[in-house]
Structure 1
Amino acid sequence: MSSRDQFASKIGFILAAAGSAVGLGAIWKFPYMAGNHGGSVFIILFIAFLFFISLPVLVAEFMIGRRGQVDAVTSFKQQAPGKPWYLVGYLGTIMASLILSFYSVVGGWILSYLIRAFTFRLKSGDSESFEQLFHAIIQNPWEAVFAQGMFLLITIGIVQAGIKSGIERASKWMMPTLFIFFLILVVRSLTLPGAMEGIRFMFVPDWNQLNWETVLLALGQAFFTLSVGVSVMITYASYLGENEQIGSASIHVALMNIFISILAGLVIFPAVFALGFQPDAGPGLAFVILPAVFEQMPLGSLFVILFFILLLFATLTSSISMLEILVSVVIGKRRTNRVRIAWIGGLLIFIVGIPSTLSFGIWSDVQIANKSIFDAVDFLTNGIGMPIGAFFISLFAGYYYKTSVSKQELNTHPLFYYVWLILIRFVTPIAILIIFIQGIRNVF
């Protein structure tokens, strides 16, 4: 343990882990999912599922990582010698790398918007003009690939610096800044005439919107929002001191994720309703509707810049965790240089991600199972890889660990422990199977 880099403080670990979870899922996907599926009803279901389905897996990953104090693959090998559980670590490493390959595509779009905002070239005045701009950006192969590369360069630069000097320092700087920018945008959104309609949409449930589709989508959003299933949290917890309390750390990460998701809604929905737009704009909400909304506000250009800086920070805090798991595994196997592996791994992920980047432009006709390359990789990771990984992590922590081991590792109040044990053994695996089966059904 003495030779392994560790987080300097518990708050540094929590901010890094929360940053991994607080990504595009919380700020980009959550608002348009809620907007399309009942607003407050979706939000209530999301919060309930996050605590009872996703949080137990997060606790399990923290437990496995902190107990192992090594990379995800080696951790399973050491804790289950001679058994194939280590394949879960390899699966997570591959899935995290693939996620980053298309996640960096969206990170590149954010950089393109941010550069235009800083140079005052993001003024169009209405959603139709911003929609044309969005398509122009994602369909331009040179700009899209270049922006994707720039986003990965920033990610590599943080990861290659190590845990304390890179990931922890960046998280301690970006996460508080993200909160401050969010609060500024929330205050501005809530002071718009007519903003109360957006508040009602978020917090006054219309139970007529409750249906099986809303339940399944809220379940899926809650499951994916904490970055579980790809061993990212196992990797982060491996840099955590053995005396840290992982139960409270897990709850803090979950609460921060909920808080950010609610703040995202408070930025978006009051402004959208106040200025006459619709909340069900789908994935284009962040890149088409919101710029048009901000442009209609006084000092709109400033708020556009703040929003895309916020979005960039959230995306980076997730991307660094996805590259770190690859770096951690390779270093663990070969004891080689972190800087070299970060650059080589980032370059390979960049190359793998180019087809996803081009799938909106010159390769838009290429289909895999009736999906674009981008959507196919998204489904492979989020629809197949993550549920499988989370399922086996649940079984490992719930059944392979003896209760004496898991009780010692969790080191918490007996009630919390036994509730976690019931959830991780019985509730979470069933929920994950439902998500997995529903995802497969949507394809076929």
Structure 2
Amino acid sequence: MRYFPPRPPSSIIPDYALLQFSQFYFSTYPAMSHSSSWSSKIGFVLAAAGSAIGLGAIWKFPYTAGTNGGAIFVLLFVIFTIIVALPVQLAEFYIGRTGGKNAIDSFKTLRPGSLWPWVGRIGVAACFILLSFYSVVGGWVLNYVVHSFTGEIAPNVDFGALFEKTISNPTSSILYQGLFMLITIWVVKGGISDGIEKANRYLMPALFILFIVLAIRSLTLPGAMEGVSFLLKPDWSKIKSETMLTALGQAFFALSIGVSAMITYASYLGKDQDMFRSGNIIMWMNLLVSLLAGLVIFPAVFALGATPSQGPGLIFVVLPAVFMKIPSGNYLFAVFMMLVVFATLTSAFSMLETVIAATIRQDERKRSRHTWVIGIAIFIVGIPSALSFGVWSDVLIFNKSIFDLWDYIITAIIMPLCALSISIFTGWIQDRQSVLTNAGMGSTVPKTLLYLWLGALRYIAPIAIIVVFINSLQII
């Protein structure tokens, strides 16, 4: 399962979830003794949702659904997100909030003198590497926003050639990668409440508003209902083992688990925060964005005669061509790419914060300097990935480009193994009663659901993760 492509080619939210979200928005809790904390309950929810809602939801979900049967894939994705991904995310919340420190020190607090802190160390290292090549894709997206306003996105343009030109140009690739990292550094150096939380308070609502506007426009196109049917009306004949594994893998990555980001964000939580309600809202927000992405893309694709199974080039190659057939399409495409920028940045914030939190060790006086130093280091490490689509495209390691190699190591190996370790740690290593007591603090969740969560961590999640891991290694 991959977040990113190899070298590019030439559900409805329940009423109770909406009620919970509205109750969250203006509620606050007292400051923690932690050197940094969320200033409000909604701050954590928006930031954690932003971490999860990245390229996985807006880029990967639509093209993966398009190549795996549409609605049947969506249905499987929703089911697996609820029964597999959510329990592991809640386990990360438990570790972070109970440990109350960064991803490494939280494990040390919960299991002193053991090897378990290495799970945190590996997760932090994974965030460092992941952001180094994630920022490359973020740079492409920023570049496309500029393309939209400079006339390069226009009718009769060869968008395949434009994409190839964009990613193979070493100067612009590095320049826009650097700009993406500069924005990320600027926000994260402001800390939790003044930086990440404040940015997400604006970016996440803007993302939803723009998505709804674009979805309405897409749904009003002639023939759009065919795209809606493709997305929401399951064709049961398309259930295959490969589709199930792909949906399971998408669910696994959908909630940003396995790289210690959720442990880090949860370490800033107060003990009175209902982490189960927060997790539920975050999950439904992620599912909603994924479905909105589908409602923006597939009605337009079907209405204008394109094919949904276009693969990773869907938003860079197919969508520009689709939007150019709509009145004011270049501006609508610019709005869509701004959505992708917002989603990409909110994920990047969590990756950089995970690394920063592990290095400053709760000493906020070090934050600004460490953020600049580490952010620049990540940018430098990412340069070979940026060049691997152009001047260094012939540099192959184990028959993979530099970008593809990092992608494979992080998403196919480290993320599943870390998520498996977190499931085992919470479900089997920690004292069961202690887990239930600490996880249930501030929560009104019935004990039955707490036991079901622990059961999912012990049995369902590990088996599912192992299956995804083996599949990602192409053994099955």
TM-score computed with the length of structure 2 as normaliser: 0.91
Q: Which residue of 2 aligns with 1:234?
A: 263
Local SS of the residue matching 1:116: helix
The code of the aligned residue for 2:448 comes to L
Q: Which residue of 1 aligns with 2:426?
A: 397
d(CA) in 1 for partners of 2:411, 2:90: 20
Q: Which residue of 1 aligns with 2:166?
A: 137
The code of the aligned residue for 2:183 comes to I
The code of the aligned residue for 1:245 comes to D
d(CA) in 1 for partners of 2:288, 2:253: 16
Mapped contact 1:125–1:296 kept (Cα < 8 A): no
d(CA) in 2 for partners of 1:231, 1:200: 37
d(CA) in 1 for partners of 2:322, 2:121: 43
1:275 maps onto 2:304 in alignment:
yes
1:287 maps onto 2:287 in alignment:
no
Unaligned residue ranges in structure 1 (runs of 5+): none
Q: Which residue of 2 aligns with 1:54?
A: 85
The code of the aligned residue for 2:167 comes to I
Hey, which bits of structure 1, 4+ residues long, moved more than 3 A? 333-336
Local SS of the residue matching 1:287: helix
d(CA) in 1 for partners of 2:435, 2:49: 23
The structure-2 alpha-carbon separation of the partners of 1:252 and 1:333, relative to structure 1 and needing over 3 Å to count, comes to closer
The code of the aligned residue for 2:252 comes to F
Q: Which residue of 2 aligns with 1:365?
A: 394
Cα offset, 1:334, TM superposition: 7.3
The code of the aligned residue for 2:318 comes to I
> CA deviation digits over 1:234-272, x for unaligned, max 9?
000001111101011011110000000000000000000
The structure-2 alpha-carbon separation of the partners of 1:96 and 1:340, relative to structure 1 and needing over 3 Å to count, comes to same
Written as runs of structure 1 = structure 2, the 5 A alignment for 1:55-204 is: 55-125=86-156, 129-204=158-233
Q: Which residue of 2 aligns with 1:438?
A: 471
Cα offset, 1:232, TM superposition: 0.3
d(CA) in 1 for partners of 2:205, 2:318: 26
Local SS of the residue matching 1:441: coil
Local SS of the residue matching 1:288: helix
Cα offset, 1:335, TM superposition: 6.9
Could you say what the CA RMSD is over the residues aligned between the two structures, in angstroms?
Answer: 1.2
Cα offset, 1:124, TM superposition: 3.9
Cα offset, 1:75, TM superposition: 0.5
The code of the aligned residue for 2:256 comes to S
1:45 maps onto 2:84 in alignment:
no
Local SS of the residue matching 1:70: coil
Aligned residues: percent identity?
50
d(CA) in 1 for partners of 2:364, 2:131: 24
Written as runs of structure 1 = structure 2, the 5 A alignment for 1:403-418 is: 403-411=432-440, 412-418=445-451
The code of the aligned residue for 2:208 comes to F
d(CA) in 2 for partners of 1:323, 1:335: 15
Mapped contact 1:10–1:244 kept (Cα < 8 A): yes
Q: Which residue of 1 aligns with 2:27?
A: none
TM-score computed with the length of structure 1 as normaliser: 0.97
Mapped contact 2:34–2:362 kept (Cα < 8 A): no
Local SS of the residue matching 2:182: helix
Cα offset, 1:43, TM superposition: 0.4
Mapped contact 1:66–1:242 kept (Cα < 8 A): yes
d(CA) in 1 for partners of 2:201, 2:449: 29
The code of the aligned residue for 1:351 comes to I
d(CA) in 1 for partners of 2:34, 2:54: 31
Cα offset, 1:403, TM superposition: 1.8
Cα offset, 1:409, TM superposition: 1.8
1:17 maps onto 2:61 in alignment:
no
d(CA) in 1 for partners of 2:281, 2:396: 41
> CA deviation digits over 1:281-336, x for unaligned, max 9?
11100111111111110111220111011000000000010000000000018776
The code of the aligned residue for 1:378 comes to D
Mapped contact 2:34–2:100 kept (Cα < 8 A): no
Q: Which residue of 1 aligns with 2:57?
A: 26
Aligned residues: 441
The structure-2 alpha-carbon separation of the partners of 1:182 and 1:333, relative to structure 1 and needing over 3 Å to count, comes to closer
